[in-house]
Structure 1
Amino acid sequence: MQFTSLNGVYLSINHCNSLHKANNQKPITNPFKINGGNVSADSLYMDPNLLLIVSLLLFAILLICLTIFLIRYIVKTKPDTVTIQALKANNDLLISRMITEVSIINNNDLIPKEKKETRKKEIKIPSRIVSRLKKQLDQFEKKEDYLNPEIKLTNLSERFDTNTKYLARIILNEKGKNFKAYIRDLKIAYAKEKIDSNRKFRRYKIEVIAVECGFKTAESFSKAFNNMYDIYPSKYIRDIENGKG
């Protein structure tokens, strides 16, 4: 390509020289004379080594620019360390609160109902009402009204002309137990006394004894009896009949 271009240039120059000679003009000796200076034909073409250096330099500049761009992108998209620490702290606090709440719930489950009620806010009851309710409870026990299987705190409070909070508090303070345990223990104590003293009563089936003592099922009666005396009523009766009681 280089030689072809030069040949074309020199052919044009020779043609011009021929015209100059015909016109008695000075021939062209240096075809690359520019603004009074002399430029050789070889100087118009870049040195291959120089071209390689320039190419490498441009590549290096491009690589540096790309590296800077990547660094800025990574820095911009990288999560803030402070934010991560804050999120971690919040998560730790949340987990700690959950553990505390679960611990409180578990501890409350381990506390008997009787003790849970004593931890409630103390209710101030007028002394005259306390005295009246205590007398009514004594009459309630003497008449054995607790044998009624439908007896509840609500209907007994209405009968005593008071509210459920007052009656429940009086029973808790005077008897040391909640209303349900209070009624249950009265029934079981009655059943044991009847079994101990009445041979005919001992011959009843457990289902009949349960109903006579105010329980709706033989199972609930047997379980309550065993919880209180650590023996089931059926075995207790057999032991008495066999002279072991």
Structure 2
Amino acid sequence: MIKYILLFCLFSFISLSAQETSHFDKICIKTIVETSAQSMPKAFKIADSLYNSSDTPLGKAKSLLLIASLHRQVGNFKKSLLYAEKAKYNIEQTDNADWNLRITGYLATQYRIVGLYDKAAEYVDQADVLSKKITVQSNLFQAEALLNQERAYHEIYKKRYQKAIRYAEISLASLKKINSKDVSYTNYITANSYELLGDSYYYLDNYPTSEIYYNKANTLLDSPSPLQGFVFNGLGMLSLKKKDWKQAKESLEKAKKIAETLNNRELRQQVYFNLSEYYDNTGKPELASQYYKKYIEISNLITKEIQELVNESYSKLNSSNEMYSQRSLLKSFIILLLFVLSIGLVIFFNLREQKQRKRFSEIIEMTKKNSEMNAKSVLLSDQESKEKKKDDSPMTSEKEVHLLKSLEKFEKSNLFNDKNMSLSHLASKLNTNTRYLSYIINTHKGEEFKTYINRLRINYIIIKLTNEDIYRQYKISVLADECGFSSHSKFTAVFKNFTGLSPSLFIKYLDEKPEAIDKESFEKIEH
């Protein structure tokens, strides 16, 4: 559901004081809205020029946020966060609450995209405090509208669609209080709330109401944008549900044109999947397989980039903690050698426990996140996905897509817990040969068969331990048998290899912090 988050990036930049927009701000807005859609290199050149010509912290903050937004549009999460954090540093040197709010909201959104929810929550809280400092009433209403849209994104991610609807409606109520001269801006953020409502009602299977809100959003959008692309994609999904194939193709082709013109990966991901469904249902398997492969490729790319950024963020956090501990030990050593030795031991064990608890929290968060993204595992891994080979597939495109879908069904079953599971055994069940199956797993899952099966098994037992309290009462040997391992020791070794924690320690942390588990997020994570 990354698409729900993408739209806020644009509004984090556009001025809340639309009535009195400066020449500098107008250039920024034109760059992010128009120039970037025509030529991204030109947009970056303008942004760099604005930064170099800025001689105040406010001007630098605006320019840096523009650069961050452009990097976000092309899918560079790392640089987007880097420039946004620099913008935050500069805006903190001023007393401008309006821009501080926008930059803070942008950071909250970006950290939520990459799965760093604690960090995102910190910025959401900061944004809420900053909104109370806004004195201009129209600006306050706009801030309330955007904050409630952000809250709606959170609720959609958690599949709490009724709450998302409530926040989207509150956002609309705030927007109605605005008397803005910039009608196009107000229409755009109003359309954003309508699109949120369309999505929420769609996932509640209330298709007639969903269509009403998608159409309301569409009437307010007069030029191609990511938001308009998602609206057309939503209308296309509704037409697929109604089996109105002609209308489905028309809407999805419009969404595809916008996605590819703007090079919006999240929109392309959604559209390619729905076009695959369309062609599958209209008897064109070759086109269906082409779009499904495109969907798989872009999904893996997005997952890989987010995974790398999450791993890097946790690594930097741990490095920072270790450096701080070393400085503390050095200072204490000057005071008293024996004291520092005792403190050193305490710090050592505390740091080790902190790392283990962070790893535990990381697994829980990634479990919830990857349930939305249909990722292959809930576990963070140092192993990077292998690059797909384009021209050396031993099978036809249709056969490859068919095997991928069969493998997805296998992953949703519990057959991988069979102790006799082997490459030949699974190939027989999927009505294929070991060469084809080995190629599919190596190319699309990025690992060998044994590692792939072990990852599924550990993923399965983590979800069981998290979601069903009774599993935490079982002996480790019972858990090992449950997920297909031949012995207690082998299960423990594989579990620790994937998670960095022993099974008993993982269970201990689950029992100590039941509040860390959002049961709603795990209800539909079944194999």
TM-score by length of 1: 0.49
Of the two, which has the highest radius of gyration? 1
As a proportion of its length, which structure holds more helix?
2
